[in-house]
Structure 1
């Protein structure tokens, strides 16, 4: 199995002007603001990542598949989504989730640049 951190990093860093820094001891990806944060057993015994989500999406995914998605502590009330990586991840779906997270926080000119590419 491919290292989930490497896969997640590749998905995040392919997006325009993304930087990676440690935040709260975990790799976190920024496009001006954070949009994805790795969660290596940070708050519980599960491997996951947290990300920004468009309005209503987090609630919908958590309700539909609580074995794969959750409301993360501290940021869940702001619409962020938690995605478990210790189950068989669907990397195509995760790529879409990461891209949506980016679109949620990126400046409009960078979203336009993403759409052009």
Structure 2
């Protein structure tokens, strides 16, 4: 009998599929968690499950800055929160893995984060 995935494992597989579908995206651990980066460049997303025992399963992505981060949290605090360590730089965490996860919204935020991290040459080639 095949093992079934836990909700957090299912969420990681969904996030992994979204992130690795972007141009030149790759994965490697970052501080004990899966991190997604552009080869030869910057990280654009991290998958956290119970990071520092916070009880959350989330994908952490870049925003355009603290103003956007604040707006997202204020407009949808059930989805977004300020992640430890990366929050002061403007990153945002999206809760994932629950039955109501809007995966299209997650994919859009991951792609926006990729665009913020992508080198000009990738963006000039048409981006995502």
Q: Same fold (TM over 0.5)?
A: yes
- Distance in 2, matches of 1:53 and 1:12, equals 16
Alignment equivalent of 1:93, drawn from 105, 112, 117: 105
1:18–1:62: structure 2 CA closer, same or farther, 3 Å change rule? Answer: same
Aligned to 1:49: 59
Using structure 2 for the length normalisation, give the TM-score: 0.83
Secondary structure at 1:77's aligned position in 2? helix
Residue in 1 that maps onto 2:47: 38
Residue 66 of structure 1 aligns to a residue whose secondary structure is coil
Give the length in aligned residue pairs.
Answer: 116
Partners of 1:39 and 1:50 within 8 A in 2: yes
In structure 2, the gaps of 5 or more residues are 1-6
Greater mean deviation of Cα atoms: 82-91 or 69-78:
82-91
Q: Residues 114 and 27 from structure 1, CA distance in 2 versus in 1: closer, same or farther, beyond 3 angstroms?
A: farther
1:1-117 aligned within 5 A: 3-31=10-38, 32-43=41-52, 44-55=54-65, 56-87=67-98, 88-115=100-127
Instruction: Give 1:103 deviation, angstroms.
Output: 0.6
| Structure 1: unaligned runs, 5 residues or longer | none
- Per-residue CA deviations over 1:63-86 (Å, capped at 9, x if unaligned) read 111111001111111110111114
Per-residue deviation, residues 69-117 of structure 1 (Å, max 9, x unmatched): 00111111111011111442111111110010001111011123344x6
The one-character-per-residue Cα deviations of 1:37-65 (angstroms, maximum 9, x if unpaired) are 00011121111111111233221111111
